[in-house]
Structure 1
Amino acid sequence: MRDEDDTDGASGPTAAAAGGDGGQFELREHTADVAVAATADTLGGVFAAVADGLTAAMCEEVPADGERFPMRVRAESPEAALFDYLDECIYERDVRLVLPTDHRASVGRVDGEWVVEASARGVPLADVVARDVKAVTYSEMALEETADGGWRAYVVFDV
């Protein structure tokens, strides 16, 4: 995992906010892409905070309406679970035509796999002005437990 000040060419934070599941995130400029650096007390909290950062990368003002919907992913590692969860958020946006926001997530191991049980509130895309985020990438992705038992993550999105 990178130090919070190590941005590998990024020009610094462009926005910071508290995530809906107790975590915090910062949007960071990243060449032609956008990156999210997030922290939280729990693994599920940092997943939700990165997803909240994804939402913020797509839309500056999010209306309060929208119905909650569930998401569930399984993967072989925590990093793969984070990638698949964020990819599922983008997929849900494209299929449901909603902006996933107000993310909640729990992450655990079940039968040797990492399972993410999550939900988001889906705001109709017709109600927002949203920037297109094309994909989550493994480029520079980092996920680690901190010395105090919390979690931090860094994820780059293709825009």
Structure 2
Amino acid sequence: MSFELREHTADVAVEATGESLDAVFGAVADGMAAAMCDDIPVEGGERFEFTVAAEGREALLFDYLDELIYERDVRVVLPVDNDAAVSAPRSDDEVPDEWTLSGSARGVPLADVAARDLKAVTYSDMDVSETDDGWHAYVVFDV
């Protein structure tokens, strides 16, 4: 999995690839952390877990990243070393079809890093698509 930061008008974008949907979601989240902080500590911080659900892949990616921004603000940490496990809806479920994500991140205290503010994730130009090599994602963040 990998990511690159891209310029986008007055905002910043993350373009990521991964062998699986899990990997590309995690890579976008790591890219979001890199957009907020140039030097991420390799140690320190407590790991936390969370779950999000949405009606589609793009909505799930949006809600996942939005949850990380929320966790950043509430816990006062920079979410790094992100792991994501994505589950697609099953047509035989009795409940409405829903995509789910079980995630975890290591929360580095913001007091320990020089972090820039990142206001929000956007749907602008968002892409989550399967490729011949795995998965591709592109997300723009409001800074």
TM-score by length of 2: 0.93
Q: Find the partner of 1:133 among 99, 112, 118.
A: 118
Partner SS, residue 88 of structure 2: strand
Q: Find the partner of 1:121 among 106, 111, 118.
A: 106
Q: Give runs of aligned pairs for residues 9-158 of structure 1, distance below 5 A.
A: 23-63=1-41, 64-110=43-89, 111=93, 112-148=97-133, 150-158=134-142
For each residue in 1:79-111, what CA deviation from the matched residue of structure 2 results, as whole angstroms up to 9, or x when unmatched? 000000000000000000000000001101244
* Percent of pairs with identical residues: 67
Deviation at 1:147, TM superposition (A): 2.1
Partner SS, residue 143 of structure 1: strand
TM-score by length of 1: 0.84
Q: Which runs of 5+ in 1 are unaligned?
A: 1-22
Q: Which consecutive aligned stretches of 4+ in structure 1 deviate over 6 angstroms post-superposition? A: none
Q: State how far apart, in whole Å, the 2-side matches of 1:134 and 1:92 are.
A: 13
RMSD value over aligned CA atoms? 0.8
Q: Considering Cα pairs closer than 8 Å and 6+ residues apart, tell me whether 1 or 2 has the greater RCO.
A: 2
Q: State how far apart, in whole Å, the 2-side matches of 1:71 and 1:101 are.
A: 14
Deviation at 1:31, TM superposition (A): 1.0
How many residue pairs get aligned? The number is 136
Q: Give 1:20's aligned residue.
A: none
Report the AA paired with residue 118 of structure 1.
Answer: G
